[in-house]
Structure formats: structure tokens, C-alpha cells
Amino acid sequence: MAISNKRALIFVAVIVLCTLGVAGYVQWRQRLRTPAAAGATLGLNLDDPAAATRIDQLRAASHVVYLSRRTDSFDQVGLAPAANPEDQQLLAAPACERSYFGRKIGLCLVINRESLSPKAYAVFMNHALKPTRQLPLDGLPIRARVSPDNRWAAATVFVTGESYVGDFTTRTSLFNLEDGSVIDNLETFTTERDGQVIKDVDFNFWGVTFFPSGDRFLATLGTGGKRFLVEGDIARRHLKVVRDDVECPSLSPDGRRIVFKRASTTKGAWRLWVMQLESGEAWPVTGDDRYIDDQAEWLDNDRILYGLLYGEGIPENALSIWVSDVSKESGFDARIFVRSASSPSIVR
Amino acid sequence: MAGGFLYQSQGRTELNEKLGNPDTRGLGLKHAGRNVWILGLTSLLTDASSEMVAAILPLYALYFLHASPAMFGVVDGLQQGGASLVKLAAGWFTDRSQRHKSVAAAGYLASAVSKFGLLVAAGGASALTALVVLDRLGKGIRTAPRDAIISLSVPRGALASAFGIHRALDTTGAMLGPLLAFLVLRWIADGYDVVFAISLALALVGVAALVLFVDTSVIGAAAPADQLAPGSRWWSPRFVMIAVLAGAFGLTTISDAFIYLSLQRKLGFDHTYLPLLFVATPAVYLTLAIPVGRIADRVGRTSVIVGGYAALLLLYVILASSASSLAVIAMCVFLLGSFYAMTDGVFAALASSELPPERRATGLALVSTCNDVGRLVSSVFFGWMWSRSSPDAAARAFIPLMVVTLALATVVIWRFRTNAR
């Protein structure tokens, strides 16, 4: 059978149709995504003095900062008064994968996709939310934290390509915000368990949370398929295992409780638990196995905020910040705090 | 039997062709070669399509869908096992129905449908997982019938050359895919859906090329003398030996990811350069695939395969040694690329030459599954060694394993060769 003209013609037609299809699709989706004001990005431009004043006023009182997961403003920073979270202000830039904001300092982890291997950066912002400093990160950003006293910040990344047998490798760096120095990797700290120094090639640290004052923090140590709560002392470059089966802790404002993740039997799903640090007593605060996005945050000493994937579909429809009461008596009460958003931080 | 499995001299091949080897009788080489090129084109487009999605999937899942990467890790292990079972079933069904082209087309179509799903499913982590599985399923379905068509479309003496051409095109696609994906994301920052759209278009053109231009009428052309007598076994001792060798060699093969990681740890180079290894290795593979295939057809396929694993052994020795410089990385990449060029397509050619046409898809699937299973066991073992001690120690453990396997393989091959004479 020689190639017939008819078949060749059909083939050319398939190529032409596919090309037109792609071109048409790109046209259609670009028109769909462009906001009404053609080409303009949604949100406040901080170079505009009026906008800057507005943000200043908002930041004078207690407020929540989060990342928008709406399709029209994906990854953009949003702010709202803590008492009235639906009264939202969006910033036009930057777009963050993960972020955390203190009163004086903001940390925004961004990915620059301009090169063949996407490069990640930690962008630090001042109290007016203007970028002041940018440092390269060695992987894909997953956690960001700033200490309550605004003296330290932490960032965790997935180190690309270093994962093996279905597991992953993380790297956590600490940033001294006063002198600008960087502790590149928590794995350089000495780790101790029950008085013994322990070390393994598969050590992973992630999810730092700082105590209200001083240079102490809590974090997760993952090794041998298990997760541990470790307490860190920056000055001594020392870590101590304090509890088993605690992942991604977040300290309450009074420093007496943590909310943390505990993996459920469903792969890729967690429940949130709260632990009284002194007694070690812990109880669950979410009722079903779901994907909990990022680290949880405390609205006050009794209520937590967390990103939760509820249902299927794009993040705009499925990912929101929820609020729950953590007292044992409250049961599993949960409601949406900010819709189509995640990665909350509370500035008190 | 004409045409040795173990040793194929140039003279003998030519003689076969002159005498009219049953496989080649009545077929023009130009005509038969077309199937190989068309299937190469289909694989190029489909691989580009799949790899452009695979390249952005972690970013898409982590930052766009906010789904857990841990989920995909588990899927991976299941997929590998599942894909092997599907491969065997598809091979068996192909031979039973003798509908090579339809089964292969179904496999390519399944992958195209998965791209369509990615485009219209509008996110959702579980939908994503299902679609990734569908793509792999398609790969499992199409491999055996496609390789069978390739092997049945060329004279016996040109089998390794034909697989060399196919694998070179296939690898080209696998290299172009990620490049294309990143160009799209650079053009449109959140253009994951555009990547899916282009991926779908490429997959569809690939299926169209297969359906419109691959001519399987040649497959029925095997002479009656070559067909199995009723009740006779299709697996010859030689074939069984090939399958066992494929499994044994699989056990000694450290997965690419581990080799790259060992290199990176050992030499302590920046993560930024890691993707370069993923590009450089296939570049070596695709450059060498065609010439190595030709050489294999001349000097003998088993010699080339043994040479390929010897190259891998040399790579292990370098990994276990304390040598570390840029030249060492270049050497390792060259050895790894050569290993693929000397074993992947050549193994398929070798197995094809020992299989009756009506059982070829089954046999090819079996050999490939043996190799997959071996590699799966090896990567679990290597991962365990790695986490217990160090990458260097893990690589060292594989050196004696490979030496023993190579020695045994050489002895067995030599015995079969002398028996054949």
C-alpha cells in the first residue's frame, strides 16, 4: 500500500485542525482571564500614595494577611481586618507561593519561571509591604514563617531531584533579620534524643514556628518514615526531640499550645490536632481526613486558621481559609474565614 | 534455524536475504522501513506530549492545585507494577487477535484522552491522579504491539537498526517535551492549561500518523513454514534465556534518578545543573542509537548488549571511586547514554529474532516485563542501601552483582553459541 493522496490529505487536515484548535484555545482563555480593565492587574499599586496610606491604616490595627487563590488574582497578597475578614484589599504585586507576615517584616516565597529550571526566591518586605531584599532558595518553597518579635524568619523548600523511593527531601533555612545573616540548613544543627546525639542521612526538617520571644523555635523532624516534634535553640545550634508523631506545628500567641498536622491513613490527607505543651495532652480539632494546605495559624489563643481543600476543582472553588475553635468541648465546628484563599498570617 | 540469535555475521545475514528469509520474502526494504519511521514519528510526538506534562506536573500539583506531592509518589510505585501487567495482557491480546495496529492505536489514544481530561477536568487532585494513571496505562498497552510491528516490518538482519531508529526518534520527543513546556510557561506565566492543550494536539497528530500511515498488511506475510505447528511451544530455550537475562540485568541496573543523585552528592554540584543531566543523557542516547543498532546487526546483538552492561559497570566503578571532576560527570553521562543505546532497542531486536511472528507481541512484552521487575527490585534495594549507609556504599554493592551477572551471561551466551553451530 502506497501512501494515498487521500490519507496524506487527512493527515494535513488533522495537523491544521490541531494547530487551529490550540490557537483558538489560547485566544479564548486569554480573553477569559484578562480582567475587565484590559491588561491591568487586580489590586493596589503601592507606588500610589493613596494606596500606600490605605494599607498603612489597615495595618495599624489587628489584621489577617493571606494569599488569594482566586483565578483573577492567583497568588497575590490580600489583607483584611481580623474582625471583618471579608473586607479585603489585594496588592497588585508580588505573587507568592507561600508567605508569612509580621508587623515589621513580611516574607514572600516566589518562583521565577523564566528559566528552564524554575528558580525560587525569598523576598523580604518592610512594614509598608515594599520589597527590600531578595535571596535565592535551593528548591521549591513550601513553608514560610516570621518570629513574633520579627527578629527571625524561616523558609522550607522541597529540594528538587533529591527525592527517592517516593519520599522527599526538604531543606529549612533560618534568616537573621537584624544582621542579615543566614543559617543555610537546619541539618547542620546537632540533634539530640533522650540525651543521645542522633544523625541520619534521611533527616528532613520543615515547618518552623517561633516562640514569642528569644531564639527558640519548634519544627518537624522527618526520618525513617516517622515525624517528630523538635525544639530548637538557634544560639546553641541545637535541636532536641520532644514529642513523637507531630507534623508542621504552629505555636499559639501565648506559646503554651501548638496546633499540628497528623497524617491520616488516606494518603495526602491530614487532621489538625492541638497539644497542650506542658502536659502533652492532645486532641483532634478537625473531624475528617482532608488536604490541609500549609501550616496552620492562630487567630487568638482559642481559635485557629488553616487552608483546607474542600471538594474538587480549581483552587478558587475548593481552597479556602477555615476557622475552628480548638477547645475540647467545642466539637468539630469549622466555618470559612476567607473564601478562595490560603496561607493566613495574623498580625496582632 | 537461519539467523543466529547469538551471533549474526554480516555474511550470514546477507546470505539469508539472498536465499529469501521467510521474514523478508516479498518485502521491499523501503516499504517496510516506512512503518519504522512512522512509528518513530508517532512515538516522538506522543513522548513529547507526555513529557511536557510530566515536566510541569509537580509544579502544577504543588502550587496550582495545592495537592500533596506525597500522593504522586505512591501512585508511581503502583503504576510501575500495573503498567507491566497491562503490557503483558496487551501483548497476549495482540497476538490472539492479530490486530497489532488497533491495540497500539488504542494505547496511543488512551494517552491522548488523558491529555484531553487534564484540559477539561479543571483541576482536582484525584482527577489528576486518575488521568496520570490513564496515560501510563496507554503506554503499557501500546509498547508490545508497537515493537512487534517494528520487528515484523524489517528483515531479520536489520532488526537492531530498525529499533535504533525508533528509539532515537522516541528519545528526541522525550527531550523536546520539557523544553516546550517551559517555553510555554515562560510565554504565559500560569499557562499550565496551554501546556495541556498543546500536549493534546501533539498526541492527536501522533495517533493520526499511526492510523493513517502504518501498514500492517506486511505482518500477515510470514511464510507458512515459519508458523507454529499446532501444539508446539513458541518459547524456545534461547528465548527463555533472553527473558532470564533481561530480568537478571534488570536486577543489576541502578535507576537513573539514583545515578544522578549519587553524582550530584558526590561532586557536590549545584542543584541548578541537575536538569542538565536529564537532557545530556538522552542526547547521548539518541545520537548513538542508530549507529549502535547498525553495529549490532553486523557484529551480533548479544555482544553489543554485554558491552552496554560493561559500560554500566564502568559507571558504577566511577561512582564508587573517589574521582570527582567535571570530566567525571561528562564521562558518566556518556556511559549512561551509551548503556541505553546499547541495550534498550537491541534487547527488543534480540528477542524478536527468537520469536515466531504470531507470538511476537507476547514474547516482547514478557522480556520487557522481566526487565521492569528486575529494575523495580533493584531500585527498592538501592534505596534501602542508600538510606542505611551512603550512595557510594550502595553503588559499591552493585559492582560485584554486575560482575557476576556479566560473567554468567557471557558463559551462557557462549554455550548457546557453540551449541548452535
Does B217 reach chain A within 8 Å, measured CB to CB?
A: yes
Q: Which of residues 177 through 236 in chain A touch B, CB cutoff 8 A?
A: 200-202, 224
Minimal-distance CA residue of chain A relative to B72: A166
CB A187 within 8 A of CB A239: no
Contact B185 A113 (CB under 8 A): yes
pLDDT over 90, % of chain B: 49
Q: What value does the mean pLDDT take over residues B171-181?
A: 92
In chain B, how long is the greatest CA-to-CA distance? Answer: 64
What φ, ψ does residue B111 adopt, rounded to 5°?
-65, -40
Complete DSSP assignment for B280-326: HHHHHHHHHHHHHHHHHHHH-HHHHHHHHHHHHHHHHHHHHSS--SH
Contact A7 B261 (CB under 8 A): no
CB B320 within 8 A of CB B314: no
Predicted confidence band of residue B123 (pLDDT cuts 50, 70, 90): low
Does B190 reach chain A within 8 Å, measured CB to CB?
A: yes
Round to whole Å and give the CA distance between B297 and B196: 40
Contacts of A111 in chain B (CB under 8 A): 59, 63
- pLDDT tens, residue by residue, B386-412: 767 777 788 888 999 999 999 999 998
Q: Which of residues 252 through 311 in chain A touch B, CB cutoff 8 A?
A: 267-269, 291, 293, 307, 309
Does B74 reach chain A within 8 Å, measured CB to CB?
A: yes
Round to whole Å and give the CA distance between B91 and A31: 46
Q: Which domains does chain B have, with CATH numbers?
A: 28-219 (1.20.1250.20), 237-420 (1.20.1250.20)
Predicted confidence band of residue B350 (pLDDT cuts 50, 70, 90): very high
Does B231 reach chain A within 8 Å, measured CB to CB?
A: no
| Whole-Å CA distances, A148 to A102, A206, A346, B214 | 7, 18, 10, 67
User: Hey, of B38, B118, B131, B212, which one would you mutate to test binding to chain A, going by the most A CBs within 10 A of its CB?
Assistant: B212
* Cβ neighbourhood burial of B285 (10 Å; 0-12, 13-18, 19+): buried
Q: Which of residues 134 through 163 in chain A touch B, CB cutoff 8 A?
A: 138-140, 142, 158-163
Contact A312 B123 (CB under 8 A): yes
Round to whole Å and give the CA distance between B212 and B248: 39
Does B64 reach chain A within 8 Å, measured CB to CB?
A: yes
Predicted confidence band of residue B316 (pLDDT cuts 50, 70, 90): very high
- pLDDT tens, residue by residue, B238-259: 899 999 999 999 999 988 877 8
- Residue found under cell 545543573: B273
Taking the alpha carbons of B228, B229, B231, B236 in that order, is the dihedral positive or negative?
A: negative
The three grid cell numbers given for residue A200, joined into one nine-digit string: 541520619
- Which of B188, B209, B271 has the CB atom closest to A160's CB atom? B271
- pLDDT tens, residue by residue, B8-55: 333 333 334 433 344 443 334 455 588 999 999 999 999 999 989 888
Q: How far is B301 from chain A (nearest CA, A)?
A: 31
Contact B69 A138 (CB under 8 A): no
Q: Which of residues 3 through 62 in chain A touch B, CB cutoff 8 A?
A: 3, 7-8, 10-11, 14-15, 18-19, 21-22, 25-26, 29-30
CB B184 within 8 A of CB B197: no
- Which of B182, B212, B275 has the CB atom closest to A10's CB atom? B212
Round to whole Å and give the CA distance between A248 and A304: 14
What are the residues whose beta carbons fall under 8 Å from the beta carbon of B315, sequence distance 6 or more?
Answer: B259, B332, B335, B336, B339
Q: Which residues of A10-24 are buried (b: 16+ CB within 10 A; e: fewer)?
A: ebeebeeebeeebee
Round to whole Å and give the CA distance between B277 and A34: 38
Per-residue pLDDT of chain A (348 residues; tens, 9 = 90+): 566 789 999 999 999 999 999 999 999 988 877 654 444 568 888 888 999 999 999 999 999 999 999 888 889 999 999 999 988 899 988 889 999 999 999 999 998 876 666 788 999 999 999 999 999 998 889 999 999 999 999 999 987 554 433 456 889 999 999 999 999 899 999 999 999 999 887 789 999 999 987 789 999 999 877 899 999 999 999 999 999 999 999 999 999 999 999 988 776 688 999 999 999 999 999 888 888 888 999 999 999 999 998 877 778 888 999 999 998 877 788 899 999 999 999 998
Angle between helices B326-352 and B159-187 (to 10 degrees): 130
CB A63 within 8 A of CB A81: yes
- Is the pTM higher than 0.90? The answer reads no
Q: What is the pLDDT of residue B219?
A: 67
Q: Which of residues 82 through 121 in chain A touch B, CB cutoff 8 A?
A: 97, 111, 113-119
Round to whole Å and give the CA distance between B148 and B364: 7
**Top-confidence residue, B197 or A73:** B197
Alpha helices in B321-359 (DSSP H): 326-352
Contacts of A142 in chain B (CB under 8 A): 62
Residue B372 pLDDT > 60:
yes
What are the residues whose beta carbons fall under 8 Å from the beta carbon of A59, sequence distance 6 or more?
Answer: A79, A103, A127, A129, A347
Q: What is the pLDDT of residue A114?
A: 67
Contacts of A202 in chain B (CB under 8 A): 387
Residue B129 pLDDT > 80:
no
Round to whole Å and give the CA distance between A19 and A16: 5
Predicted confidence band of residue B74 (pLDDT cuts 50, 70, 90): very low
Does B186 reach chain A within 8 Å, measured CB to CB?
A: yes
Does B213 reach chain A within 8 Å, measured CB to CB?
A: yes
Complete DSSP assignment for B222-256: --GGGSPPTT--S--HHHHHHHHHHHHHHHTPPPH
